[in-house]
C-alpha cells in the first residue's frame, strides 16, 4: 500500500470540503456515517459526531442553508448573509464543549456519553423549525394570527421538535441513531432541551440549561448568535464564552441542580447581556432594517395564498406554518413537507416575479426595496423614533394617530397650498398610509436586570447578585435595563404624506393626547 493510500485510510474529504475522520472505537466502525471536521469562521476547526452528521445530511436540515440568520439585516450590514445552518453547527459545537467541561471537572454529575450526545443534538436541531427570514416570519405569523382572531401562539421551537421527528422518520435514521444510544426516550429528551422545558428530575436540571436556558438566559444558543452576528456585521463582541465555560459549576439551588458561575466572572456575565442590547440598538432595530422588514411583511399579507412556488403550487404561508406546529399524524407530515419548501429565496423570487394581478402590489414592494435610493419609488419613509422608559400598546398609538389625522391633513394641506407646493386635490393621508413599530430593547429579561437570575459561587457559598447591590459591582452599570423604541413609518413616498405623518408624530406625545387614546375604541389599523 502506498503512502497516499495509507493516508486516505485515515482522512478523506466530502463534496463540501469537510474532513471525514473514521471512528476508532470498535462499536462505531460499522456505522456508515463518520466524524467530520468543519472549518467554521467563528470557532475554527470543529469536530462533529457521526450521529450529528446523519442529521446534517438530510434535506430538512440542509434547508437551513437557505434561511438567513438575521432576516433583512443584510440591507444595512452587507456582511450579514450568514444562515441558520452555520449557526446550528456552532451551537452544536458549543453545547458539546460546555457539557464536556462540566463532565471533566465534576465526575460526580455522572454525565454519560449519551447525555453529551443528546445535548449536542439539541444544539444542532434547535432551529429546524425557523421559517423564511428567521424571526421576521414569526412576526408575520403572529400578526396574521391576530388578524384572523385565532387564539394560538406560534413558536418556531414547536415546529423544530415536529421537524426532528419528521426528519428521522423520512430519512430512516432511527436505526443509525440507536447505534449511538439514541432511541425514542433520548429523542424526547432532546426535544425537551430544545423547548427549554422544566425537568421532571431536579438532579438533571442543569442539562436543560445548556442549549435553551429559560432560567437565566445564559446558554450556548445566544453565545453563538452573539459571536456570529458580531463577526459578520463587523461589530465588536466583548464577552468571553470560554472563560464562562471554564468557571461554570453545577450546584443544587432551590431543589434542582443548576449551572452557576464563579463570582470572578461577573463582569463577563454582564458583557453577554450588554452585547445583546448593543446588537439590538445598533443592528436589529436599525430604521432601514425595520422599514425593509415592514415592507416585506406587507408583501407577505398580499401574497399569502395567492402566489405560486417553483413547483406551480400555491404557497400558503400562514396555513402551512400553523399546520407544521399544530397538526398531528399524516396531516403533520404533509404540513412539514409543505413547510420545507418555504425558504428565503423561494419567497423572495415568488414575490419579485409574481405575475398574478392580485400579487402585483407585492412585486412592486420588492422592486421599491431594490431601488430604495430613488425618490418617490415606493420605499417607506421613516417618520420618527420615540424612546420611552415604559411600554405603550401599539393599539393605543394607532388610535391616537387616527384621532390626529384629520387635523394633520387640514393643517399641512393649508400650508402646502399657500406655498404652492401642491394642488388642493392631493390625496389625504389615511390610517393605511402609516404604520407603527413598537420594539422593546432590553438585556433579555424585560425591564429586569438579567444578572439577578444568574447564580454565582465563591469559595464559601452559592448566591445571586441582586440589583440592590450593584454599587458593589460597579458605579457605571445602568439603572434601567429596558427601553421601548417606537418607530413611525409612512407607506407613501411623497413629501405631503411625510409631513402629515410627522405632524401626528410630534403632536401625539403631548400627554393629553396620549391619555385620550386609552379611551378610544375605533377600529383604525396602521
Helix, strand, coil percentages (3-state) for the chain, rounded to 5, are: 55, 10, 35
CB atoms inside a 10 Å sphere around CB 78: 11
CA distances from 283 to 156, 233, 276, 286, 441 (A): 22, 8, 10, 5, 11
Rounded Cα gap, residues 276 and 285, in angstroms: 12
Q: Residue 419 is placed in which grid cell?
A: 406655498
What are the residue numbers of the active site?
156
**Cα 210–Cα 214–Cα 219 angle in degrees, nearest 5:** 30
The one-character DSSP state at 455 is: E
Residue 137 and residue 130 in contact, taking contact as beta carbons nearer than 8 Å: yes
Burial of 107 (0-12, 13-18, 19+ CB in 10 A): exposed
Q: Residue 236 is placed in which grid cell?
A: 465588536
Rounded Cα gap, residues 125 and 55, in angstroms: 8
β pairing state of 12-13 and 35-40: unpaired
| 166-170: long-range pairs with CB below 8 Å, 24+ | 166/60, 166/332, 166/333, 166/336, 167/55, 167/58, 167/60, 167/61, 167/125, 167/128, 169/333, 170/58, 170/60, 170/333
Rounded Cα gap, residues 349 and 329, in angstroms: 32
Which positions ≥6 away from 395 have C-beta within 8 Å?
none
Per the listing, cell 470498535 goes with 26
Rounded Cα gap, residues 114 and 47, in angstroms: 17
Amino acid at each position: 500500500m502506498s503512502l497516499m493510500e495509507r493516508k486516505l485510510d485515515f482522512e478523506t474529504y466530502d463534496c463540501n470540503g469537510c474532513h471525514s475522520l473514521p471512528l476508532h472505537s470498535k462499536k462505531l466502525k460499522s456505522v456508515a456515517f463518520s466524524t467530520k471536521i468543519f472549518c467554521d469562521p467563528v470557532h475554527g476547526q470543529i469536530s462533529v459526531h457521526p450521529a450529528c452528521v446523519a442529521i446534517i445530511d438530510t434535506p430538512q436540515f440542509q434547508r437551513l442553508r437557505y434561511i438567513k440568520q438575521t432576516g433583512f439585516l443584510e440591507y444595512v450590514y452587507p456582511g450579514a448573509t450568514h444562515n441558520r445552518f452555520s449557526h446550528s453547527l456552532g451551537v452544536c459545537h458549543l453545547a458539546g464543549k460546555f457539557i464536556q467541561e462540566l463532565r471533566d471537572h465534576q465526575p460526580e454529575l455522572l454525565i454519560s456519553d449519551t447525555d453529551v450526545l443528546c445535548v449536542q443534538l439539541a444544539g444542532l436541531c434547535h432551529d429546524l423549525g425557523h421559517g423564511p427570514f428567521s424571526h421576521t416570519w414569526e412576526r408575520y405569523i403572529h400578526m396574521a394570527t391576530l388578524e384572523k382572531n385565532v387564539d394560538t401562539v406560534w413558536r418556531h421551537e414547536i415546529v423544530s421538535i415536529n421537524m426532528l421527528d419528521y426528519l428521522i422518520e423520512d430519512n430512516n435514521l432511527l436505526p443509525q441513531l440507536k447505534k449511538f444510544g439514541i432511541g425514542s426516550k433520548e429523542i424526547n429528551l432532546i426535544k425537551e432541551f430544545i423547548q427549554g422545558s422544566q425537568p421532571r428530575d431536579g438532579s438533571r436540571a442543569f442539562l436543560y440549561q445548556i442549549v435553551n436556558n429559560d432560567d437565566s438566559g445564559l446558554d450556548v444558543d445566544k453565545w453563538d448568535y452573539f459571536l456570529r452576528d458580531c463577526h459578520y456585521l463587523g461589530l465588536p463582541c466583548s464577552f468571553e464564552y470560554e472563560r464562562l465555560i471554564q468557571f461554570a459549576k453545577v450546584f443544587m439551588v432551590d431543589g434542582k441542580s443548576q449551572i452557576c458561575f464563579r463570582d470572578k466572572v461577573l463582569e463577563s456575565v454582564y458583557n453577554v447581556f450588554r452585547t445583546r442590547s448593543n446588537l439590538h440598538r445598533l443592528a436589529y432595530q436599525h430604521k432601514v432594517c425595520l422599514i425593509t422588514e415592514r415592507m416585506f411583511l406587507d408583501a407577505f399579507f398580499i401574497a399569502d395564498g395567492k402566489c405560486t412556488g417553483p413547483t406551480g403550487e400555491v404557497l400558503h404561508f400562514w396555513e402551512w406554518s400553523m399546520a407544521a406546529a399544530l397538526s398531528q399524524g399524516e396531516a403533520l407530515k404533509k404540513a412539514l413537507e409543505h413547510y420545507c419548501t418555504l425558504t428565503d429565496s423561494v419567497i423572495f423570487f415568488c414575490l419579485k416575479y409574481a405575475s398574478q394581478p392580485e400579487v402585483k402590489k407585492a412585486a412592486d414592494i420588492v422592486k421599491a426595496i431594490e431601488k430604495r435610493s430613488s425618490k418617490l419609488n415606493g420605499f417607506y419613509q421613516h417618520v420618527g423614533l420615540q424612546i420611552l422608559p415604559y411600554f405603550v400598546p401599539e393599539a393605543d398609538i394607532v388610535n391616537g394617530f387616527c384621532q390626529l389625522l384629520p387635523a394633520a391633513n387640514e393643517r399641512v394641506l393649508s400650508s402646502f397650498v399657500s406655498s404652492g407646493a401642491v394642488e388642493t386635490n392631493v390625496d389625504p393621508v389615511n390610517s393605511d398610509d402609516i404604520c407603527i413599530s413598537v420594539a422593546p430593547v432590553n438585556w433579555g429579561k424585560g425591564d429586569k436586570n438579567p444578572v439577578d437570575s444568574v447564580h454565582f459561587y465563591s469559595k464559601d457559598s452559592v448566591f445571586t447578585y441582586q440589583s440592590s447591590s450593584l454599587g458593589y459591582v460597579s458605579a457605571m452599570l445602568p439603572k434601567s435595563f429596558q427601553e421601548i423604541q417606537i418607530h413611525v413609518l409612512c407607506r407613501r413616498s411623497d413629501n405631503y404624506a411625510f409631513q402629515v405623518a410627522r405632524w401626528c408624530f410630534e403632536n401625539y406625545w403631548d400627554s393629553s393626547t396620549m391619555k385620550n387614546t386609552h379611551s378610544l375604541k375605533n377600529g383604525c389599523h396602521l
